[in-house]
């Protein structure tokens, strides 16, 4: 996620098999972190595999210790998503299609 002026803000993505798990962990993040620490928190479904992603976007000045706390919480039952994959998942969920590399892999486009 980019902030004003286009700078990147630190973010984490974690994948969960069940929506209830993802939402529970998102609520816990919301409870443990202030609005000044987490500036964006989103849960969305990845259509092609049926999993759910939590994306947490942090303030630029958040400490690495607090980011580690979030990783520990999400890692209890979620699987970390590589930042490049998170970008692809977001594009697919917002744009309505599979990323280009995935369409090519499955023989499309």
Encode pLDDT of 90-101 as tens digits: 776 665 544 455
CB within 8 Å of 80: residues ≥ 6 apart: 12, 13, 14, 15, 71, 74
Instruction: Spell out the domains of the chain, with CATH numbers in brackets.
Output: 4-97 (3.30.70.60)
**Hey, what's the torsion of the CAs at 18, 43, 38, 57, to 10 degrees?**
110
* pLDDT tens per residue across span 5-60: 444 678 899 999 999 999 999 999 999 999 999 999 999 888 778 899 999 999 99
* Cα–Cα distance measured from residue 68 to residue 74, given in angstroms and rounded to the nearest whole number: 10
Of residues 105 and 25, more confidence is placed in 25
Residues contacting 39, CB < 8 A, separation 6+: 1, 3, 9, 57, 58, 59
């Amino acid at each position: 996620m980019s902030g004003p002026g286009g700078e990147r803000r630190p973010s984490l993505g974690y994948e969960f098999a069940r929506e209830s798990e993802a939402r529970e962990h998102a609520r816990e993040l919301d409870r443990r972190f202030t609005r000044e620490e987490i500036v964006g928190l989103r849960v969305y479904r990845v259509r092609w595999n049926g999993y759910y992603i939590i994306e947490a976007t942090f303030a630029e000045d958040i400490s690495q210790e607090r980011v580690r706390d979030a990783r520990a919480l999400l890692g209890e039952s979620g699987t970390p998503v590589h930042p490049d994959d998170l970008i692809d998942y977001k594009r697919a969920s917002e744009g309505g299609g599979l990323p280009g590399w995935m369409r090519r892999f499955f023989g499309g486009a």
